[in-house]
Amino acid sequence: MEAVLFFAAALGALSGAVGVVALRNPFYGVLALIVHLFSLAVLFLLLSAAFVAAAQVVVYAGAVMVLYVFVVAYVGGDTESAWEPIPGQRFLAPLVGAALFVELSIAVLGSSLLALGTEGPDVEPGFGDPAGIGKLLLEDFLLPFEASSILLLLAAVGAVVLAGRKGEEESAS
């Protein structure tokens, strides 16, 4: 049962990823990414990370992707030209990608982490619950927590600044 779910979700994630890369129209790419994100959420659930899965759906697929949709709608989805100005890029890219995959896989599979060959230790039912994650965030990882809140503030300010150029730019042009 678990294996079936895994392969289904894996297939979904992979096809979503390939769709993002391959689809010409960026709008379709966004949609493919949403599929990918949902598949990943399923995979998270399989790994007993309930809260992360929920956050993935709510934050990522929910908020971030909506933002993408708005921007793509505003900007428009032009298809790109076929001609490649950088010599060798089209040739090297898949090679490099493949090399990367192979290396990483070898690194993982050939490592001496024996635990990789298992399903992981037995965990209590509350593994991955918001309570546990919240506890960690507020106790052991307080600094990253606060830092990420500052980061969010920066991002918000940055967005306002970038978006607020409207007045200058329209009068200049």
Partner 1 sequence: MSATAWAWLVLLFPLLGSIAIAVGYRAIPARVAGIVGTAAIGLAFACGIAALISLLGDEPEARHHASSLWDYASVAGLDIKLGIYLDPLSAFMVLVVTGVSTLIHLYSFGYMRSDEGYHRFFSYLNFFVFSMLLLVLAGNFVLLIVGWAFVGFASYALISFWYRRTTATRAGMKAFVINVVGDIGLVLAAILIFRELGTFDFGPVFEQAPEVFSTNEWTITAICLLLLLGAFAKSAQLPLHTWLPDAMEGPTPVSSLIHAATMVTAGVYLIARTHVLFGLAPTAADIAAFTGLATLLVAATIALVMTDLKRAIAYSTMSQIGYMVVGVSIGAYSAGMFHLMTHAFFKALLFMAAGSIIAAMANEQNIDRMSGFGRAMRFTSITILCGGLALAAFPFTSGFFSKDEILAYATARGGMYLIFTVLGYLGALLTAIYTFRLIFRILPGRPCPEAQELIDSGHLAHGPPRNPASGEEEDTGVGFPGAEHHIAERSASMRIAMAVLAFGALFVGLVQIPGVDAVVGDFLDPVFEGSALSHVHPSVGAEWLGLAIGAAISLAGIGIAYYLYVARPETPAALQRRFSGLHTFLYNKWYFDEAIDLLVVRPALAIGRFANRTFERLVVDGLISGTEDVVGAGGRLVRVVQSGFVRSYALLLIVGFAGLALYFLLSSS
Partner 2 sequence: MNIEWYIVLSSLLFAVGAMGILVRRSPVVILLCLELMLNAGNLALVAFSRMVGNQEGQVFAIVVMVVAACEVVIGLGLIVAIFRRKLPLDVDQLRELRG
Binding to partner 1 (CB under 8 A) within 68-127 occurs at: 85-86, 89, 92-93, 96-97, 99-100, 103-104, 106-107, 110
Nearer to partner 1, 84 or 146 (CB): 84
Name which position in 87, 112, 125, 163 contacts partner 2 (CB under 8 A). Answer: 163
> How would you write the chain as a 3-class SS string?
CHHHHHHHHHHHHHHHHHHHHHCCCHHHHHHHHHHHHHHHHHHHHHCCCHHHHHHHHHHHHHHHHHHHHHHHHHHCCCCCCCCCCCCCHHHHHHHHHHHHHHHHHHHHHCCCCHHHHCCCCCCCCCCCCHHHHHHHHHHCCHHHHHHHHHHHHHHHHHHHHHHCCHHHHHHHC
Name which position in 112, 123, 125, 171 contacts partner 2 (CB under 8 A). Answer: 123
- Residue 110 binds which one of partner 2, partner 1, none, with CB within 5 to 8 A depending on kind? partner 1
Q: Least distance in Å: CB of 125 to partner 2?
A: 13
Which DSSP category does 118 fall into? S
Of residues 24-83, which lie at the interface with partner 2 (CB under 8 A)?
26, 29-30, 33, 36-37, 40, 43-44, 46-49, 51-52, 55-56, 59-60, 63-64, 67-68, 71-72, 74-75, 77-78, 80-81
Name which position in 87, 112, 117, 171 contacts partner 2 (CB under 8 A). Answer: 117
Could you tell me which residues come within 8 angstroms of residue 23 by beta carbon, excluding any fewer than 6 positions away?
Answer: 29, 32
Residues found near partner 1 in the complex (CB under 8 A): 85-86, 89, 92-93, 96-97, 99-100, 103-104, 106-107, 110
